[in-house]
Amino acid sequence: MMNHETDLSIAQRVTPQSIFDVAHTLGLSTDRLYPIGPYIAKVLNQDPVETPKKRGRLILVTAMNPTKAGEGKTTVTVGLGDALALLGKRTCVTLREPSMGPVFGVKGGAAGGGRSQVIPMEDLNLHFTGDIHAVTSAHNLLSALVDNHIHFRKSPRLDGQKVNWHRVLDMNDRSLRSVILGAGPESGTPRVSSFSITAASEIMAILCPARDSQDLRNRLSNIIVGESEEKELVRVGSLDFQGALSVVLHRAIYPNLVQTLVGTPVLVHGGPFANIAHGTNSLIADNLALEQAEFVVTEAGFGADLGGQKFLDLVSPIAGFSPDGVVVVATLRAIKHHGGAKDFIEPNTHAIINGIANLLGHLENLRDVYGQEPVAAINEFPGDLPREIGLVQELLTKAGFQSSLTQVWAKGAEGGVDLAQKVLSSVENTSRKKGLTNRTLGHGAEPGSPVHEAVEKVAQTIYGAKNVSFSPQAQKSLDQLAARGLDRLPICMAKTQYSFSADPNLRGRPRNFEYPVRDLKVSGGAGFVVVFGGDIMTMPGLSPTPAAMGMDISPRGTISGLF
């Protein structure tokens, strides 16, 4: 690929297939499509059939702890899907929807890269089909309804100072991390509140595990908005707001069908971040893909300690299935970073030997804790030295792990054939071990464990911590959970993506550190407790030079600078 080519310019040169042809590839009839232009469609629900179809095999793509630039996990996911299709497998890729916060912030476009992209790229990155806007609107509608309920002192009477339902926006804006509501005349009762990015909304966390519209409505009813003046929990169902929220989300529940550069079907649906939520696309999309395809390649956000752990421990038990194969994306620059290097371009054997511990830590967790046979995908970047890649592969082989040099950014499907073949071999080995009708679910934290025990198990088993410390606020929250009978819900860990620990500066494979829990929050509708570790925030800020500064549109409507 020539250096002057950008992801956007490559995508703009490709004429996508008709979305009806893409649907036909996946075996979907046209009457199930709700087209949004010629290249995007929502896939409508179908009545259950009496005889279930044979389900496909699920491949989970996760990663080592990344650098701030990202390691190309989506690119590898798309490229692997294209490579499996090239090998004659009926394949579907399932992904999350890009949030406009990161798109305009640090990352730019979030549809893959090079020859392994999802198109139409501009639509995907900018508003898409409006699902994230619908989540934003539903969340903020609930905020407005709650404030209105308080203003008119309706029953049950909410304590205005005990409302824990804040507002959201799909944009990075640090100035909204703390706000004062009701400060003006006739504006209600003043109180301190905040905004989170929409990806952190509980409604986003509800949309992704919901099985259908009725399940979505039931989950919305269970959202806890605060406490009454009598100190009882107040849920959406007791306020009868779930109907209105369901109306706002009535089309957002349908997954979105698009395609890769070479026409492989892609279902894009839902958008929770893995550092502050569970980081996986919707179960509706996964189930649809598994019903229609032989192989489904899905992606979990950030590293295997975040999105990967949550897919296996949180999502799999809800879904009733677990991956048949796992890929862990790695790059030379991330390995060097975790080995202490400051310059990722210069040769640095010492940094590779030290930094490989981070990658091995993720691979060992997947093998030893979850019983998977992970394959390490070394995602090649321009300037990578063959001898350094060879050293990484040698170290992985010595540790007993398969690896593949993955060149899907530059070569597309052909650059992922070796990875696809090794994944197919791993899938067959895993299937023989556990049997297709008895798939093992994750067990990093045992279901039904008290919250504090589950937190300790994940921190010690997955992260490598020696112990867990709970702040006074976290201990108070634990006591409240126990008092209300909510202390055995599953947990969703919220922490930095840049380290196994809660400290982004603690690189490599740290051991015997103290993992600090700052606070806990119940997501009643999603059905889990969010555990905040360290200084993790739910509203990101923009960088000194955000990606937005390089974006523009021509008089003819051609977008530039999206990456």
What residues are labeled active site?
73, 75, 96, 107, 274, 302, 381, 409
| Count of other CB atoms within 10 angstroms of residue 232 | 12
CB 383 within 8 A of CB 345: yes
Cα-based distances in Å from 350 to 173, 339, 392, 398, 499: 39, 7, 12, 17, 20
270: tokens are 């839902």
| Count of other CB atoms within 10 angstroms of residue 466 | 11
100: tokens are 């406009």
Cα-based distances in Å from 379 to 113, 358, 386, 403, 476: 12, 16, 12, 11, 44
Q: Which residues pair with 406 in a beta bridge?
A: 379
505: tokens are 């500066």
Nearest to 127 by CA among 139, 140, 114, 136: 136
Nearest to 241 by CA among 294, 203, 267, 196: 203
DSSP 8-state code for residue 414: G
Distance in angstroms (rounded) separating the CA atoms of residues 209 and 319: 8
| Count of other CB atoms within 10 angstroms of residue 425 | 14
DSSP per residue over 2-67, as a string?
-TT--HHHHHHH--PPPHHHHHHHTT--GGGEEESSSS-EEEPP-PPPSSPPPP-EEEEEEESSPP
Cα-based distances in Å from 84 to 57, 119, 185, 298: 12, 18, 62, 13
DSSP per residue over 493-540, as a string?
EE--SSSSSS-TT--SS--SPEEEEEEEEEETTTTEEEEEETT--SS-
| Count of other CB atoms within 10 angstroms of residue 54 | 8
- Count CA atoms within 13 Å of residue 323 on its CB side: 33
CB 418 within 8 A of CB 405: yes
Which residue is associated with the tokens 């038990």? 317
Relative to beta strand 552-553, strand 528-533 is unpaired
DSSP per residue over 204-267, as a string?
HHHHTT--SHHHHHHHHHT-EEEEETTS-EEEHHHHT-HHHHHHHTTTTTS-EEEEETT--EEE
| Count of other CB atoms within 10 angstroms of residue 101 | 24
498: tokens are 């840049």
Distance from the first to the final alpha carbon of the chain = 15
Distance in angstroms (rounded) separating the CA atoms of residues 405 and 389: 8
| Alpha-helical segments (H) within 324-471 | 332-338, 349-364, 386-398, 408-411, 417-434, 451-457
